[in-house]
Amino acid sequence: MTTFIALVLGSILSTAGIAPDDPLKTLPSKDADRIRKHLPGVVTGPGEAPPIEDADEWLPLDSTVYVYENPRDESKTLKHVMARLERAPGAAKDAPGKGWAMELPSGTTRYLKSVKGRGIVAATDVSKPNAFIIRLDPPEPIVHLAGETGNQVRENVRIRICDIDSPEDTSYSGTVKCEWEDLGAWKVQVPKGTYDTRLIRIKYDGSIGPASVSAWKYMFLAKGIGAVAFTDSRDISAFIFYNNDTDQAGVLKSVTQASGG
C-alpha cells in the first residue's frame, strides 16, 4: 500500500512538472516557475540568511565590478559597475561624504544613496543610449529594509523622463506601483560559488507616457556581496525601452573590488 501511494504521488508530481526533491517546492508556484525558467538549477534549497536589517551590508557601497553569466549560455555576460562619486546626489557642493553610481548593462547609470529607515535607493537615472534623464519620486528602493519573510513594501513611484539636452522639460511622465517583497532565505549555486541569500521579488505596474509597464523580477542577495543571481537586470525605466526579457538573467561569475574603495 505504501509503495502504491508513493507511485501515485510521484506520478502527480511528475504530471505537474515538479520533482519530488524540487528545491523550490515551498515557494508559490508562479514564483517557482519563473525562477526555474530564468535561473535553471541555481537554487539548491532553503537557506539560513538573516532578514535584511542594514541595506549597506547587502549591497556594499564599494568600487566594484560584478560580472554575471547568462545561466543558459555562459558565453554571454553582463557587467555591473559600482563607481564612487565625488559628491552624493542631492548633497551640497562642499558636503562631506561621497556618492555612488551603478552602471548597468542597458547603458543606464543609477545614482545611489543610503537613506535611513528605507535602505539604498535611486532617485535619478541617466539612460545614455536614449539620452534621457529619469527622475524617480520617491526614490526607487534598490535594497529595501523589508524585514521578515513575507513583508511587502509598496510605493507609487512618480517618474519624469527628460531629454538630456533640456532637463527641465518633461518628455514623458507617469506613475508605477513598485512592490518589494522578501520571499525568504535560499541557498544558491552560481559560478562564483555557493551563497546563502535572501530572495527578493520586485513587481512593477503602471504607465509612463504612452507605454504601460507590467513586469516582475527576482533577485538573490548575499550579505557582504550584493546580487549573486537575478532573473532580470533592467531598472524600472528600462522596461519602457527594452521589451525582451529572454536574455536579462544573470548568475555571478566574478567580483573585483578596486583598491581603496
pTM (predicted TM-score): 0.86
Query: Is 90 within a domain?
Result: yes
Q: Which three cell numbers stand for residue 104?
A: 548597468
95 lies in some domain: yes
C-alpha cell of 206?
A: 503602471
pLDDT tens sequence across 6-30: 444 444 444 444 555 889 999 999 9
Domain membership flag for residue 10: no
The C-alpha torsion from 29 through 31 and 32 to 34, rounded to 10°, is 120
- pLDDT tens-digit readout, 71-118: 999 899 999 999 988 877 777 777 666 689 999 988 899 999 888 888
pLDDT in tens, the chain (261 residues): 444 444 444 444 444 445 558 899 999 999 999 999 999 999 999 999 999 989 989 998 889 999 999 999 989 999 999 998 887 777 777 766 668 999 998 889 999 988 888 889 998 999 998 899 999 999 988 898 766 666 788 899 999 999 999 989 999 899 999 999 999 999 999 999 999 999 999 999 998 887 788 888 999 999 999 999 999 887 776 666 655 555 789 999 999 987 554
**How many angstroms from the chain centroid is the CA of residue 192?**
18
CA torsion sign for 215, 78, 200, 218 is positive
Indicate the number of domains in the chain.
1
CATH of the domain at 146: 2.40.360
Q: Residues 32-38: contacts with CB within 8 Å, 24+ apart?
A: 34/216, 34/218, 34/231, 35/218, 35/231, 38/71, 38/218, 38/231, 38/232, 38/249
Q: What is the DSSP letter of 251?
A: E
Nearest to 235 by CA among 224, 222, 248: 248
212 in any annotated domain: yes
